Structure 1
Amino acid sequence: FEDGGTRGPLKGFFPSTLPVPSLDQALSQVAITLPHLHPVSGLTVKLARRHAKRAQRKYPHLSLDECASIVIYTIEEEPREGSLYYVLNGVLRAQERVRVRPWRDYIWLLLHALRKLPVVDLVVVFRGCQKDPADLGLELEAGF
Protein backbone atom coordinates (compact mmCIF):
# COMPACT_ATOMS: atom_id res chain seq x y z
CA PHE A 1 0.00 0.00 0.00
CA GLU A 2 2.66 2.50 0.93
CA ASP A 3 4.54 3.08 -2.33
CA GLY A 4 5.34 6.72 -1.59
CA GLY A 5 3.59 7.84 -4.76
CA THR A 6 1.26 10.78 -4.93
CA ARG A 7 -2.44 10.42 -5.60
CA GLY A 8 -4.78 12.72 -7.42
CA PRO A 9 -6.86 14.93 -5.14
CA LEU A 10 -10.40 14.01 -4.22
CA LYS A 11 -11.48 17.38 -5.59
CA GLY A 12 -14.98 17.27 -6.94
CA PHE A 13 -16.05 14.28 -4.86
CA PHE A 14 -17.36 16.42 -2.01
CA PRO A 15 -19.11 19.60 -3.21
CA SER A 16 -20.22 21.93 -0.42
CA THR A 17 -23.85 21.30 -1.37
CA LEU A 18 -23.54 17.53 -0.87
CA PRO A 19 -26.07 16.50 1.78
CA VAL A 20 -24.95 14.30 4.66
CA PRO A 21 -26.37 10.85 3.87
CA SER A 22 -27.97 8.40 6.24
CA LEU A 23 -25.94 5.34 7.17
CA ASP A 24 -28.17 3.23 4.93
CA GLN A 25 -27.44 5.50 1.96
CA ALA A 26 -23.75 5.68 2.80
CA LEU A 27 -23.29 1.91 2.82
CA SER A 28 -25.58 0.94 -0.05
CA GLN A 29 -22.86 0.98 -2.74
CA VAL A 30 -20.19 -0.51 -0.47
CA ALA A 31 -22.43 -3.43 0.52
CA ILE A 32 -22.46 -4.69 -3.07
CA THR A 33 -18.97 -6.09 -2.57
CA LEU A 34 -18.94 -6.26 1.25
CA PRO A 35 -22.19 -7.96 2.32
CA HIS A 36 -21.35 -7.73 6.05
CA LEU A 37 -21.77 -3.97 5.56
CA HIS A 38 -25.28 -4.23 4.11
CA PRO A 39 -27.30 -1.50 5.87
CA VAL A 40 -30.11 -3.88 6.88
CA SER A 41 -28.74 -7.42 6.98
CA GLY A 42 -25.01 -6.87 7.53
CA LEU A 43 -23.75 -8.32 10.81
CA THR A 44 -21.12 -5.62 11.21
CA VAL A 45 -23.73 -2.89 10.76
CA LYS A 46 -26.02 -4.51 13.33
CA LEU A 47 -23.16 -4.68 15.83
CA ALA A 48 -22.18 -1.08 15.10
CA ARG A 49 -25.73 0.18 15.60
CA ARG A 50 -25.85 -1.47 19.05
CA HIS A 51 -22.55 0.12 20.07
CA ALA A 52 -23.58 3.44 18.53
CA LYS A 53 -26.48 3.71 20.96
CA ARG A 54 -24.01 3.71 23.85
CA ALA A 55 -21.75 6.19 22.10
CA GLN A 56 -24.68 8.50 21.44
CA ARG A 57 -25.41 8.69 25.17
CA LYS A 58 -21.92 10.12 25.62
CA TYR A 59 -22.13 12.35 22.53
CA PRO A 60 -25.83 13.27 22.18
CA HIS A 61 -25.06 15.96 19.61
CA LEU A 62 -24.16 13.19 17.12
CA SER A 63 -26.92 11.34 15.30
CA LEU A 64 -27.16 7.57 15.67
CA ASP A 65 -25.97 7.21 12.06
CA GLU A 66 -22.96 9.44 12.74
CA CYS A 67 -22.04 7.39 15.81
CA ALA A 68 -22.46 4.16 13.85
CA SER A 69 -20.24 5.43 11.03
CA ILE A 70 -17.41 5.94 13.54
CA VAL A 71 -18.01 2.60 15.24
CA ILE A 72 -18.02 0.72 11.91
CA TYR A 73 -14.70 2.29 10.97
CA THR A 74 -13.13 0.98 14.18
CA ILE A 75 -14.46 -2.60 14.01
CA GLU A 76 -11.76 -5.19 13.31
CA GLU A 77 -13.09 -8.07 11.20
CA GLU A 78 -11.53 -11.52 11.04
CA PRO A 79 -9.66 -11.61 8.76
CA ARG A 80 -8.81 -7.92 9.04
CA GLU A 81 -8.78 -7.55 5.25
CA GLY A 82 -12.59 -7.52 5.47
CA SER A 83 -12.62 -4.62 7.92
CA LEU A 84 -14.14 -1.42 6.59
CA TYR A 85 -11.11 0.64 7.62
CA TYR A 86 -8.77 -1.76 5.82
CA VAL A 87 -10.73 -1.79 2.57
CA LEU A 88 -11.37 1.97 2.63
CA ASN A 89 -7.73 2.80 3.32
CA GLY A 90 -6.74 0.57 0.40
CA VAL A 91 -9.18 2.39 -1.87
CA LEU A 92 -7.84 5.78 -0.76
CA ARG A 93 -4.27 4.63 -1.45
CA ALA A 94 -5.11 3.29 -4.92
CA GLN A 95 -3.96 5.17 -8.01
CA GLU A 96 -7.41 4.91 -9.62
CA ARG A 97 -9.49 7.62 -7.98
CA VAL A 98 -12.64 6.19 -9.56
CA ARG A 99 -12.49 3.47 -6.88
CA VAL A 100 -13.36 6.11 -4.27
CA ARG A 101 -16.77 6.83 -5.86
CA PRO A 102 -18.72 4.03 -4.06
CA TRP A 103 -17.23 5.18 -0.76
CA ARG A 104 -18.01 8.89 -1.17
CA ASP A 105 -21.19 8.93 0.90
CA TYR A 106 -19.66 6.92 3.74
CA ILE A 107 -16.57 9.15 3.82
CA TRP A 108 -18.79 12.25 3.88
CA LEU A 109 -20.87 10.89 6.76
CA LEU A 110 -17.76 9.83 8.69
CA LEU A 111 -16.06 13.20 8.23
CA HIS A 112 -19.17 15.04 9.44
CA ALA A 113 -19.35 12.77 12.48
CA LEU A 114 -15.67 13.17 13.35
CA ARG A 115 -15.90 16.95 13.01
CA LYS A 116 -18.61 17.00 15.70
CA LEU A 117 -16.45 15.23 18.27
CA PRO A 118 -14.85 17.39 20.96
CA VAL A 119 -11.25 18.48 20.52
CA VAL A 120 -8.84 16.36 22.56
CA ASP A 121 -5.64 17.76 24.02
CA LEU A 122 -3.56 14.68 23.34
CA VAL A 123 0.07 14.83 22.36
CA VAL A 124 0.68 11.06 22.11
CA VAL A 125 -0.78 8.84 19.41
CA PHE A 126 -0.49 5.06 19.59
CA ARG A 127 -0.44 2.98 16.43
CA GLY A 128 -0.18 -0.78 16.15
CA CYS A 129 2.73 -2.24 14.24
CA GLN A 130 3.65 -5.86 13.64
CA LYS A 131 7.40 -5.19 13.60
CA ASP A 132 9.65 -4.97 16.60
CA PRO A 133 10.54 -1.32 17.41
CA ALA A 134 14.24 -2.16 17.02
CA ASP A 135 13.55 -3.33 13.46
CA LEU A 136 12.22 0.16 12.78
CA GLY A 137 15.29 1.83 14.26
CA LEU A 138 13.42 2.95 17.39
CA GLU A 139 14.75 2.90 20.93
CA LEU A 140 11.82 2.86 23.34
CA GLU A 141 11.74 2.73 27.10
CA ALA A 142 9.93 -0.14 28.82
CA GLY A 143 6.44 0.75 29.98
CA PHE A 144 5.69 3.19 27.20
Structure 2
Amino acid sequence: MNIDIVEGPIRFHLHGIGGSVENERYGEVGFRLMNELWRVVKSSSTPTTGINHWVYLPGARMFVGVELRNPQPVPTPDPLEPLEFELGRHMRHVHVGPYQALPQKWAELKAELAARGEVIGSPSLEVYGHHCDDPSKLETTILIGLRAKPA
Protein backbone atom coordinates (compact mmCIF):
# COMPACT_ATOMS: atom_id res chain seq x y z
CA MET A 1 0.00 0.00 0.00
CA ASN A 2 1.43 3.37 -1.02
CA ILE A 3 1.27 5.90 1.80
CA ASP A 4 3.30 9.03 2.34
CA ILE A 5 4.10 10.55 5.72
CA VAL A 6 4.17 14.31 5.19
CA GLU A 7 6.04 16.39 7.75
CA GLY A 8 5.02 19.83 6.41
CA PRO A 9 1.68 21.50 7.06
CA ILE A 10 -1.28 21.77 4.72
CA ARG A 11 -4.06 24.32 5.32
CA PHE A 12 -7.74 24.10 4.49
CA HIS A 13 -10.26 26.94 4.16
CA LEU A 14 -13.62 25.26 3.68
CA HIS A 15 -17.26 26.30 3.78
CA GLY A 16 -19.91 23.72 4.47
CA ILE A 17 -22.16 22.03 6.99
CA GLY A 18 -21.28 20.06 10.11
CA GLY A 19 -23.16 17.41 12.01
CA SER A 20 -23.04 14.69 14.65
CA VAL A 21 -22.51 11.05 13.73
CA GLU A 22 -24.28 8.35 15.71
CA ASN A 23 -23.38 4.65 15.61
CA GLU A 24 -20.43 5.30 13.26
CA ARG A 25 -22.80 6.04 10.34
CA TYR A 26 -20.30 8.38 8.68
CA GLY A 27 -21.34 7.51 5.12
CA GLU A 28 -25.02 8.14 5.78
CA VAL A 29 -24.39 11.43 7.61
CA GLY A 30 -21.79 12.52 5.05
CA PHE A 31 -24.16 12.02 2.12
CA ARG A 32 -26.94 13.91 3.93
CA LEU A 33 -24.61 16.83 4.68
CA MET A 34 -23.20 16.78 1.15
CA ASN A 35 -26.65 16.85 -0.44
CA GLU A 36 -27.63 19.81 1.74
CA LEU A 37 -24.33 21.56 0.95
CA TRP A 38 -24.84 21.24 -2.80
CA ARG A 39 -28.49 22.27 -2.59
CA VAL A 40 -27.39 25.54 -0.94
CA VAL A 41 -24.39 26.05 -3.25
CA LYS A 42 -26.44 25.53 -6.42
CA SER A 43 -29.45 27.59 -5.32
CA SER A 44 -27.21 30.51 -4.34
CA SER A 45 -24.86 30.16 -7.34
CA THR A 46 -21.90 30.20 -4.94
CA PRO A 47 -18.68 29.65 -6.94
CA THR A 48 -16.65 26.68 -5.62
CA THR A 49 -13.84 24.42 -6.77
CA GLY A 50 -16.39 21.58 -6.98
CA ILE A 51 -14.25 19.31 -4.77
CA ASN A 52 -15.95 17.69 -1.75
CA HIS A 53 -14.06 17.48 1.54
CA TRP A 54 -15.35 15.16 4.26
CA VAL A 55 -13.64 16.15 7.52
CA TYR A 56 -13.71 13.75 10.47
CA LEU A 57 -13.58 15.65 13.75
CA PRO A 58 -13.28 14.57 17.40
CA GLY A 59 -16.39 13.67 19.33
CA ALA A 60 -18.14 11.76 16.50
CA ARG A 61 -18.61 14.91 14.42
CA MET A 62 -18.00 15.55 10.78
CA PHE A 63 -18.00 18.49 8.41
CA VAL A 64 -18.65 18.36 4.68
CA GLY A 65 -17.39 21.36 2.77
CA VAL A 66 -15.87 22.86 -0.35
CA GLU A 67 -13.34 25.55 -1.11
CA LEU A 68 -14.90 28.73 -2.43
CA ARG A 69 -13.58 30.52 -5.47
CA ASN A 70 -12.95 34.17 -4.55
CA PRO A 71 -14.19 33.78 -0.94
CA GLN A 72 -13.72 37.46 0.09
CA PRO A 73 -16.14 39.24 -2.25
CA VAL A 74 -18.83 36.55 -2.18
CA PRO A 75 -21.04 36.40 0.92
CA THR A 76 -21.42 32.87 2.22
CA PRO A 77 -25.06 31.76 2.13
CA ASP A 78 -26.78 30.34 5.21
CA PRO A 79 -26.45 27.66 6.55
CA LEU A 80 -22.87 27.31 5.25
CA GLU A 81 -20.22 27.97 7.87
CA PRO A 82 -16.44 28.27 7.58
CA LEU A 83 -13.98 25.68 8.83
CA GLU A 84 -10.29 26.47 8.75
CA PHE A 85 -7.64 24.09 10.00
CA GLU A 86 -4.12 22.93 9.40
CA LEU A 87 -2.77 19.42 9.33
CA GLY A 88 0.81 19.40 10.54
CA ARG A 89 2.33 15.98 10.30
CA HIS A 90 -0.03 13.71 8.37
CA MET A 91 -0.38 10.61 6.22
CA ARG A 92 -1.47 10.91 2.58
CA HIS A 93 -2.89 8.10 0.47
CA VAL A 94 -4.74 8.22 -2.85
CA HIS A 95 -7.45 5.57 -3.09
CA VAL A 96 -8.42 4.66 -6.64
CA GLY A 97 -11.64 2.69 -6.84
CA PRO A 98 -15.23 2.69 -5.71
CA TYR A 99 -16.35 4.69 -2.72
CA GLN A 100 -17.84 1.52 -1.20
CA ALA A 101 -14.26 0.27 -0.66
CA LEU A 102 -13.31 3.27 1.52
CA PRO A 103 -14.25 1.74 4.92
CA GLN A 104 -11.95 -1.22 4.22
CA LYS A 105 -9.21 1.14 2.99
CA TRP A 106 -9.44 3.16 6.23
CA ALA A 107 -9.10 -0.05 8.27
CA GLU A 108 -6.00 -1.02 6.26
CA LEU A 109 -4.46 2.43 6.60
CA LYS A 110 -5.04 2.53 10.36
CA ALA A 111 -3.49 -0.94 10.72
CA GLU A 112 -0.46 0.12 8.67
CA LEU A 113 0.00 3.27 10.74
CA ALA A 114 -0.22 1.27 13.98
CA ALA A 115 2.35 -1.22 12.63
CA ARG A 116 4.68 1.72 11.98
CA GLY A 117 4.20 3.01 15.52
CA GLU A 118 2.28 6.10 14.40
CA VAL A 119 -0.39 7.72 16.59
CA ILE A 120 -3.41 9.14 14.80
CA GLY A 121 -4.31 12.73 15.68
CA SER A 122 -7.14 14.90 14.46
CA PRO A 123 -8.64 15.83 12.13
CA SER A 124 -8.61 13.42 9.22
CA LEU A 125 -10.38 13.86 5.92
CA GLU A 126 -11.24 12.59 2.47
CA VAL A 127 -10.86 14.84 -0.55
CA TYR A 128 -12.93 13.57 -3.45
CA GLY A 129 -11.74 14.04 -7.02
CA HIS A 130 -14.12 15.08 -9.76
CA HIS A 131 -16.81 12.51 -10.52
CA CYS A 132 -16.18 9.75 -13.03
CA ASP A 133 -18.80 7.32 -14.35
CA ASP A 134 -16.37 4.39 -13.99
CA PRO A 135 -16.23 3.51 -10.24
CA SER A 136 -12.87 1.77 -10.70
CA LYS A 137 -11.31 5.14 -11.65
CA LEU A 138 -12.70 7.28 -8.83
CA GLU A 139 -9.94 9.04 -6.86
CA THR A 140 -10.19 9.90 -3.18
CA THR A 141 -7.27 11.42 -1.30
CA ILE A 142 -7.22 10.31 2.34
CA LEU A 143 -5.37 12.55 4.80
CA ILE A 144 -4.94 11.32 8.37
CA GLY A 145 -3.58 13.67 11.00
CA LEU A 146 -0.63 12.21 12.95
CA ARG A 147 0.88 13.19 16.26
CA ALA A 148 4.30 14.79 16.09
CA LYS A 149 7.24 12.46 16.70
CA PRO A 150 8.95 13.06 20.05
CA ALA A 151 12.13 15.09 19.71
TM-score by length of 1: 0.27
- Larger helix fraction of residues: 1
- Larger strand fraction of residues: 2
Structure number, greater radius of gyration: 1
TM-score by length of 2: 0.26
